[in-house]
Structure 1
Amino acid sequence: MSVISCIATEHNLWLVLLAALICVSGGWVTFGLFRRAGERQGLQKSGWIFLTAVAAGSSVWCTHFIAMLAYQAEAPVTFDPMLTMASLLIAIAGCAYGFTIALIRTQRFAPELGGGAVGLAVSAMHYTGMMAYRVDGIVEWNADYVVASIAIASVLSALAIGQAVRRSFRISAHLSLGLFVLAVVGLHFTGMTAVSVTPMLTGAAGTDPDVLEAMAIAVAGVGFIIAGTGIASYLIDARSSLETFQRLQHLAHNDSLTGLPNRVSFGSYLENELERAQEDSVKVAVLGIDLDRFKEINDLRGHSAGDQALKTIARRLSRLLKDGEFIARVGGDEFAAVKRFSEQNDLLDFVSRLESTLFRPIRIDDFETSTGASIGVAIYPEDGDNQGRLISNADLAMYRAKADVTRAVCFYESKMDEASRARRSLAQDLRRAIELDQLEPYYQVQTSVLTGDIRGYEVLLRWNHPELGSVPPSEFIPIAEENGLILAIGEWVLRTACQQAVSWHTPYKIAVNLSPVQFAHADLSKLVHEILLETGLSPNRLELEITESTIIADKTRTLHILRQIRALGVTIALDDFGTGYSSLDTLRSFPFDKIKLDRSFMSEVEQSPQAKAIVRAVLTLGKSLDIPVLAEGVETDDQLSILRIEQCDEAQGFFLGRPKPLNQIFRQGPAIANDVAEPSSGRLPPARIGRRLSA
């Protein structure tokens, strides 16, 4: 309130407004020149800092001088010319020093330190100017207001300059200007509040107010001229046109976040290097680089932390480059490098430097992490004679490095990486397999061992690839699980099998395999219920098969889903029994409706007493738990005879029937099975049971 009272009652308000106008316009010019100084290097930077200091120091000095003239001391006033000029020089020199410190990029708090120095320089200018202020009277000072004024100038200037350098807000330019104006105005009027003048009757004539106003206007004119000079310097920069062109060119060829060359620059550079390699008979290595744990930074600390990490990595990569080496950012967390070399050791040295740099810890505020990276290397001309092939092969090697936890760097190997290329190509084709009607359900009969009655059919998926022909499930099912395609494929198989089975005259049961991925990523029980309602298939005709590995992955969740499905009336079978890690515990955890004995035991049951003993033990276990057992992989009459002697419940295998499409199973529509079931008995023909697998 004392400060406000001082302004309102002891100052000429229109001169105060004039001082404020000088301060705002001078500050605006100052920060425009300061930004230009931050964009320059070397002598140009020093020149722009000088212009910034002149604009800042002179505008602050003019503000101070006009505001002093606005002060109504009620006594004759004069000014010491030497001290008055000294105050101007102090302002300019101090601002130059502060702005220089603020633009030091290697110090974290340099902008705030530089801003504080500017605030101290302005304070020194103010009180030097007050020493030049001579008045016929007794001048007294309040030390508290003096300290407060210096503190205001220093703190607000530090915030203003810090905001101008960091630009952490969209309104940073306006915020910086506002803080700087508050620093200057707060300093002056708080400092003036600290002064009290008691006039003395010396007989001297008082200062003419008109003269003071004229002086103020003259000083304001000089201030505006200096500000105009700064604007003119900014506008007529001789290199502005060239710099604008260079900036646009830089944006077109460099990554906006990290400043590294982008994908366009990488392609152009690699093309030139390959042409040079052909002429000079040297080799060129293309390196694909993918950060391993970058996503964790974004997830844990946000994208701003991720951006900081990328900037840090980019700076480090730029510093390690030598002649014949090039690095670009080609994607989110992906980089690519080119190395021209003649000796293998030169390439290994470059790879070693890359690996060392990429695994160095990164400090982001109070958080320290290490991204690590996977690096793939392809070499011209051995691994490709053109740009596209080299980049593709480097990527394949990089993916192999990412999959191998023991290695961060992999060189292209045609045998291994071509298999990976084929696998990726197959994955792309599989994405459109349903849309293009390339998938087809096959059915393999399941029969009673003792009577030969057909108990049902297991649904097996086949993929008829237009170029590769029939792709075995053992090849494409793992790919579907890795890429999440198994969710759509599994739903299609379940719906299609139910739609086909509901039209059969004889209500055979169908068994459909479920992938562990379906349990982890889908509301499976709801999906099964919806498909049963949609197709009209009776729930007791549907049997879902799962493996022990499905339960082990997430036992609590899986068993909960199984109980929900079983509540619908659908039966659950435990597939591939005997090959898991906790078979007995699995049986204890859930009341399965059927156990399917893995085919590996049947393949050895005729020659191996151990395999035969295991089959007998499983069958005994099933009878003890009152769970039917189905033996898979029956391929001979002897195997079937052993199962009959051991009183196995059901069997399936090539001996009993190969998997076939629906149109080969039913020859006269859905009511009659072609050489599988007679319409009246629903049994396998006697001759079929007795013959060996000869077809």
Structure 2
Amino acid sequence: MFTVLSCIADQHDWTLLFVALSICCFGSLTAVFMLTRAQECVQQHHHYWLIAAAVVLGASTWATHFIAMLAYAGPVPIGYDGPLIILSIIAAIVLFAGAVEIAFMNGGQLVQASGGVLFGVAIAAMHFVGLLAITPFSMVSLALDKSIVACALAIGFGIVAVAALRHSASRRFHIFAGAACIVLAICSLHTVSMSGVQITPSAEPVHADLSSVDRIAIAIAVSIISTLILLGAAAALFLDRHLTDLRGLANASFEGLVIAQENVVIDLNEKFAAMAGKAAALLKGQPVEAVLAIERRLGIDTCQGAVLCDGQDTIPVEILARTIEYRGRECQVIAVRDLTERHEASRRIEHMARHDSLTGLANRREFDQRFEMAMARAAETPSGLALLALDLDRFKLVNDTFGHAEGDAVLQRVAQVLLRTLPADVTIARMGGDEFCIILENASRQQTEALSADLQHAFAQEFADLATSSGFGASIGIALYPEHGVTDRRLRNNADMALYRAKSGGRGRACTFEAAMDIELHAKRQLEHDLRHAVAKGELFLVYQRIVDTSSQEPCGYEALLRWRHASRGVLAPADFIAAAEESGCIIPIGIWVLEEACSEAASWRTPLTIAVNISPVQFLMPNLVEQFSHILAKTGLQPDRLELEITETALFHDRAAVLSTLGQLRAMGIRVVLDDFGTGYSSLANLRDFPFDKLKIDRRFLAGIGADPTIRALFENVIEMASTLNLPVIAEGVETQEQLAILHASHPAQMQGFLFGKPEAAPSSRAPLKAIA
């Protein structure tokens, strides 16, 4: 008997031992790189790399053990059993496969340790099965204690190796640490185990399968075969890691890539194949001109082109080319960037710049360009041109009543009506708000007016619900070229004038421009111009009309009435200029002047009579109206309870809640609020319910027929009775005859006003002293 350790020193071939160690190191490192690759690749390739690593580990472990055993050259002949040798390598590969599968499962430390244990078991199984392959030329016996220590070392190094390899994808240190642990596991088990092996020569030699083969030759053959296997595995690993990653990088590009050699496509990425709509294999070998349409010769600068599909332009692209070395030859790499989204974004931006975002119709900018071109075409041909200005009636009321979202929906419905009713080649534009313009080319006056009638009918059908609830509709103004103007500005102005006439004539109608409208508009604008300077020039003045107590017929107050002493037109009543003042905004400063003038006059009276002042609905749009009233009362010294503000129900149409809030604040100051012109227009009992007015003033037109028409008299008496029930004093306006006075005495309103008691006159303080103000 003798020990293996002494044999290693004296009877082993050190060259073969070095070869065995080299194969062990090279195989372990290759297997570790494969395991690292398994952690990096996609799930479907993960198990392939684990199996490949198990094969490399089993083969390298077996080759290391077998060559180390062949290195022995002692006096006892050793043979090997072929089937057991094959079984040893199969056992190693199968156990290593199970070890790496468990080691790289998703789990905790227990799973990791289990993989490491199986790692050591695989090495031990291969080693001990290999020892059993020694043929009966000799008898092999093992020392149990050393075999246990050897197995423990292999398992321990296996656990450490698995722990390192699970982190190998993130740090290079773990790769080499894992490979070193595998080498130590294999070498320590072999060395420690062999130190306890005893080989006893057999008394009756038996022929073994491999005993006659020279051990050196077998070792060289095993070394060459195992080295080739390992080199092949390493090469496959290198090619997969680098070439696959490079192709993956190319396919991950957001741009199409084509590699061309002598103007022939030899390679491309998946992005370009998807753009061309063909498989990559069908595109390879095609001339570049068959897959790309290029505007100019490729160079270092970008150029425009298109990807071709069956010879047709399909996708607009931006192209950039570079010359590179590919597969050992000079090639062109062509980068193709899809411009479809950029062109679509540009198209959307251009569309947004020229079209209204809400309705999709042309906007003012696009309309101006189309109108200019239409005018140029009309000037060159005898065909006519018509411009229609369309404006929605009471659209603000729709907005205020139903909200802006409903208002937007109405505008969209208007656009759909226009598109359905008008021919496809007609230009329709939304100029802003609820204003639309339409250009009709090659249209006569009769055709234009007929088309306008069709529009009115279509609007009536589409908006029957709104027309009933709010009087919603559309008014149209028409101007014709060249009859009504030969310039775009003139034609637009005349269409606007026709629209103004349509709205002022009752709304919901179409009106064609007439020359008289121009004169009327010029006079209106001149009136507005003069009105802006009337206050500064001192042309405005107030007259005062008495309001008398019905019982005593003595003056209880005065109403301040505005007059304008125009330089050329003479004295004008409010009916002649108030509408222009409200449209132009002049009513704001005029209203402030009237209030301050009336309060100053009333403050000078010795007897504290009331002063009534009419307030325009436009004045309620002032955000600081309450502050203005407070300032004027403080400035003039007039007591608030002597001031009466007369408003019409029209004021309540403009933001009803805000107007009622403002009236409440004024009333809280002590100012009295009178509802004027009751009985005509939009008289509503809801207004009497929603706001506690101080007085009710019945319109003069209601009182005019009270003597001749019993119905009017009955209605008048009912209004007086209703107001009495509400504890609401009534002022009867327009009393001009003794007959009316006699009737009023019977119904007995609280106060009366009319020519019978005095016409509007100069300020009471400037006249001869009256008993009422003495």
* TM-score of the two chains, using structure 2 as the length reference: 0.46
2: CA distance, partners of 1:352 / 1:630: 46
Provide the C-alpha distance between the structure 1 equivalents of 2:696 and 2:605, rounded to a whole number of angstroms: 26
**Shift of residue 475, structure 1, vs aligned partner:** 4.5
Deviation at 1:291, TM superposition (A): 8.5
Given candidates 561, 583, 600, the residue that maps to 2:701 is: 600
| Equivalent of residue 666 in structure 1, options 765, 768, 774 | 765
Equivalent residue, structure 2, for 1:508 = 609
Larger Rg: 2
Confirm or deny: 8 A CA contact 1:630 1:648 kept in the other structure.
yes
Quote the Cα distance in structure 1 between the aligned partners of 2:414 and 2:737. Answer: 63
Q: Who is 2:773 aligned against?
A: 682
The number of residue pairs the alignment matches comes to 483
- Give the superposition deviation at 1:510: 0.8
User: How many Å apart are 1:285 and its aligned residue?
Assistant: 2.6
The runs of 5 or more residues in structure 2 that have no matched partner are 1-38, 43-167, 173-236, 285-314, 340-345, 357-361, 463-472
Shift of 1:502: 2.8
Aligned to 2:573: 472
| Distance apart, 1:542 and its partner CA | 0.9
CA distance 1:520–1:289, change in 2 (3 Å):
closer
Note closer, same or farther for the CA distance 1:88–1:342 as it changes in structure 2 (3 Å cut): same
Seen in structure 2, the aligned counterparts of structure 1 residues 523 and 406 have a Cα distance that, compared at 3 Å, is closer
Q: Structure 1: how far apart are the matches of 2:713 and 2:411?
A: 63
Amino acid at match of 1:269: M
Distance 1:302 1:548 in 2: 24
Mapping for residues 491-640 of structure 1, pairs under 5 Å: 491-516=592-617, 518=619, 522=623, 525=626, 527-547=628-648, 561-579=662-680, 592-605=693-706, 607-608=708-709, 628-636=729-737, 639-640=740-741
**What SS does the aligned partner of 2:736 have?**
coil
Q: Per-residue displacement from partner, 1:468-505 (whole Å, max 9, x unpaired)?
A: 55443234444555677655554443344224433445
Pick the aligned partner of 1:94 from 264, 268, 273. Answer: 273
Kept in 1: contact 2:607–2:772 (CA 8 A): no
The equivalent residue for 1:456 is: 557
Verify the 8 A CA contact 1:326 1:339 in the aligned structure 2.
no
Q: Deviations over 1:352-374 (max 9, x none)?
A: 9999999999xxxxxxxxxx986
User: 1:94: Cα distance to partner?
Assistant: 3.0
The higher relative CO (CA closer than 8 Å, separation ≥ 6) is in 1
TM-superposed deviation, 1:599: 1.8
Query: Hey, what's the Cα distance between the residues in 1 that align with 2:247 and 2:389?
Result: 61
What is the CA–CA distance in structure 1 between the aligned matches of 2:616 and 2:377, rounded to whole Å?
Answer: 48
Q: 1:218 to 1:384 in 2, by over 3 A?
A: same
**Please, which of 257, 264, 271 is the counterpart of residue 57 of structure 1?**
257
What is the alpha-carbon distance in structure 1 between the residues aligned to residue 728 and residue 407 of structure 2?
Answer: 53
Amino acid at match of 2:373: Y
8 A Cα contact 1:397 1:417, kept in partner: no
- Write the distance in 1 (CA, Å) between the matches of 2:363 and 2:696: 62
Give the RMSD, CA atoms, in angstroms: 6.4
- Change in Cα spacing, 1:606 to 1:335, as seen in structure 2 (3 Å) is closer
| Deviation readout 1:178-216 (Å, 9 max, x if unpaired) | xxxxxxxxxxxxxxxxxxxxxxxxxxxxxxxxxxxx955
d(CA) in 2 for partners of 1:570, 1:606 = 35
Measured after TM superposition, the shift of residue 450 of structure 1 is 5.3
Instruction: Name the residue aligned to 2:442.
Output: 340
* Gap change, CA 1:268 and 1:439, over 3 Å in 2: same
Is 2-11 or 537-546 further displaced after alignment? 2-11
Structure 1 position 272 matched with structure 2 position 376 = yes
* SS in structure 2 at match of 1:569: coil
Please give the alpha-carbon distance, in whole angstroms, between the structure 1 residues aligned to 2:721 and 2:460: 57
1:383 aligned partner: 484
Matched ranges for 1:193-204 at <5 A: none
Write out per-residue CA displacement over residues 99-127 of structure 1, whole angstroms, 9 at most, x where no aligned residue: xxxxxxxxxxxxxxxxxx5xx8679989x
Go from structure 1 to structure 2 and tell me whether the alpha carbon gap of 1:549 and 1:255 turns closer, same or farther (over 3 Å shift): closer
How far off its partner does 1:512 sit? 1.5
Distance in 2 of aligned mates of 1:309 and 1:511: 46
Distance in 1, Cα, partners of 2:460 & 2:717: 56
Aligned partner (choices 390, 412, 424) of residue 320 of structure 1:
424
Structure 1 residue 435: deviation in Å? Answer: 6.5
Contact 2:602–2:638 under 8 Å retained in 1: yes
Q: Name the aligned partner's letter for residue 765 of structure 2.
A: F
Whole-Å separation in 2 of the counterparts to 1:320 and 1:645: 68
The code of the aligned residue for 1:634 comes to V
Q: Equivalent residue for 1:446?
A: 547
Counterparts of 2:578 and 2:504, CA distance in 1: 19
Structure 2 counterpart of 1:456, which letter? G
> How many angstroms does 1:573 deviate by?
2.9
Deviation at 1:393, TM superposition (A): 2.0
Q: Structure 1, residues 362-410: CA drift from partner, whole Å, max 9, x if none?
A: xxxxxxxxxx986543223443465543322223344566789996865
The residue that corresponds to 1:2 in the other structure is: 40
User: Aligned partners of 2:422, 2:728: CA distance in 1, in Å?
Assistant: 67
Whether the 8 Å CA contact 2:541–2:562 is kept in 1: the answer is yes
The offset of 1:444, in angstroms, is: 1.9
Q: Secondary structure at the match of 1:458?
A: strand
Cα 1:339–1:435 change in 2 (3 A) is: farther
User: Does the aligned pair in 1 maintain the 2:648–2:677 contact within 8 Å?
Assistant: yes
Which AA in structure 2 matches 1:57? Answer: L
Distance across 2 between alignment mates of 1:357 and 1:620:
47
Contact 2:700–2:733 (CA under 8 A) maintained in structure 1: yes
Q: Deviations over 1:6-34 (max 9, x none)?
A: 8998779999999999999x97xx6xxxx
Tell me the distance in 2 between the aligned counterparts of 1:491 and 1:589: 27
Inter-CA distance 385–509: structure 2 relative to 1 (3 Å threshold): same
* Cα pair 1:286 1:338 within 8 Å, conserved: yes
- The 1-side partners of 2:641 and 2:662 are apart by 17
Matched AA of 2:257: G
TM-score, normalized by length of structure 1?
Answer: 0.50
The one-letter code matched in structure 2 to 1:511 is A
Question: Cα deviations across residues 148-206 of structure 1 (Å, max 9, x unaligned)?
Answer: xxxxxxxxxxxxxxxxx99xxxxxx9xx99xxxxxxxxxxxxxxxxxxxxxxxxxxxxx
Check conservation: 2:268, 2:280, Cα contact below 8 A: no
Distance 1:384 1:536, change over 3 A: same
* Residues in 2 aligned to 1:458 and 1:259: alpha-carbon distance in whole angstroms: 50
Once the two structures are TM-superposed, the CA of residue 511 in structure 1 deviates from its matched residue by: 0.8
Partner of 1:445, secondary structure, is strand
CA 605–96 in structure 1, closer or farther in 2 if over 3 Å, else same: closer
